[in-house]
Structure 1
Amino acid sequence: MRRLEPPPDLRGRRARDPFWVAVTAYFNGVQRVRGMLRPAVPEVRPVDRTLTLVVQEVRREAEDVVSLRLGALGGGALPHWQPGCHLDLRLPSGRRRQYSLCGDPADRRAYRIAVRRLPDGGGGSAEVHRALTEGTVISAEGPRNAFPFLARERHLFIAGGIGITPILPMVRAAHDLGADWRLVYTGRTRGSLPFLDELRALPPERIEVRTDDRDGVPDAAGLLRGAPPDAAVYCCGPAPMIDAVRAAFVPGAGTLHYERFAPAPVADGRPFQVELRRSGLTLDVPADRSALDVIRDVLPDVAYSCRQGFCGTCRVVLLAGEADQRAPSDPDGDSLLVCVSRARAGRLTLDL
């Protein structure tokens, strides 16, 4: 028996089945209600954290040390920061360098950094002294904090030379909080120590200034002497001083926090090779040198900054080989930081 179809209308269109019309209307209504209830998904856009700054003031603070006051180009408030924060500066040459903020966190009009000229360094400090003059426009990223200050009842601060830069805001914060604190500030001579004039505004009985020419080279035991057993110890300065303090610090006697201005020596390295695929070179990395140092011997313009594995500037693509991921910012095996990463065995092939 043939099923009878509904007759067409005057325009030749067949009549719609009322049941399916009702079903379609119901589901269309449900979808519209769901669309109204579903929260809108915001468009994901990359955040540009680059700051455009202008050098407002350059001031000599000590032998081979200048401070720079950096304000927002065109005025305006700068992002907040806390003691221990630093800026990543992009110097006119393209070098990227990190400098601790040493001003007043409450001052949103400008940041302050201080830089000691190192004649045997990588050229960044010399460029700051030579090229950054009042009115120079420079880009930066941050502020970022790899050396956070944690409020405690008792603090011992140990600063060596230019290591006073992250320590100075911490000392002020501890003083403002009413904490029990002491500062031991060391250097070659008084003339080499920046910000001594600002420290005079703090209680002198809490500050000990030691210089090599007057007091002799300090030992770690002397620097830690008098620290309360539950004190938070903050240390920044030359790598040998930090290493000595770390070795002398008794675990459980408070907490030790430190920041280096130079990379730690390679202590447990094994020799390996790096193949630079684009450059067509294969280099031997000895046990006591980093891959970055060896690569810079032949490619001096390779990008780097902190040389300690946290800034990410020297990250390169790993094409072949197995690397040990020594930095917290090395989350996977597709890339590595040549300042700290090494081969587990044999050779690493890099996109350089």
Structure 2
Amino acid sequence: MTAETLRQPGVRERLEQLGYLLKHTFSLVGRDPGILRPWIRMCLYAAVMVSLFFYSVISIWGNNGGTLPLLLSLGMFLYKYFYYTRQELRQSWLVTEALQGEKRSAAEAKARVKTLKGSARGIALMDMLLNGMLSWTLRFGPVGVLLSFVLKGLREVWDLVNHYLLPSVVVDGYGMRESVSRMGRLKESVPETLAGVFGIDVASRAVGTIMFPVYALTLLMGLVIGLWVGDSLPGYSLGDPLQGSNLAGAGPLPETLPISVLPILVALWFAKLFSVVLERMTTSVKVIYFSIFYMRITHPDDILDDIRDELEAYLRLEAKDPDPVASPGLQSE
């Protein structure tokens, strides 16, 4: 997989892709509740991490402690790469087993991933390295901005490669280096009907596109409530923003207009919770999509005969509705 094979969808296309995938993914493989458990675990982990962080910020701002929750949230932030990778590997394995008509338990998925510790750590470390380097380069002014563009491109390529790595590691037991080396040969095995989507970073950056107006709206709501609350919460008061300005006392405006930061922080807290849940959902959908894609390329004969047509349409991101009733191998027992 090279940068040349990666095609970034436009804003409208990525939102349409995400909408299609959210609508159809769980109708194909969501009949087995076990496939959803890794996503639920990741959502809970992310929610706790974000809540600890915002709770610590609110507590520190109000001089009520908050150091311990902050340290815990930072620890969870560093560990999340390893935790998420393991959960994504479990989900990928559960999907590929379901395509073969097998319904596996959470314990079996855990045991399978436990045998792949080295590869799981390698994927997590690479993910952590690229994200960490991207944040680090932004500190170096114009040069850092240029480096960040390069690293963003690498991260987008890695995001696509990563989703091919997961099933390669967990299904066939290939190591990370061997899996990467096989990707060039994988393209030769892609059916002509699917060649056009092999190098697409599906639903790329769709979460950021959705969340921008959400953050803007919640920030505005927090600001309005903060002005309404005023200085009734002295520990969180930002003071009087109009005092001493040219607007103070002009027309209907008062001499002072105190504002509280607490509603703003709470609004951002809820927006971030929504963001991480949506991000984990999108990631899980991509894991499922590329796991199905991998099986279609490398193990087509192992897929149940009565779901192949639905899967083919799904992988092409066609408008045709897959019929979950026609997929008995994916239904719960």
Between structure 1 and structure 2, the one with the greater Rg is 1
- Report which structure shows greater RCO (CA 8 Å, sep ≥6): 2
Q: Which has the higher helix share?
A: 2
Q: Which has the higher strand share?
A: 1
Q: Which interval holds the TM-score relative to the shorter structure?
A: under 0.3
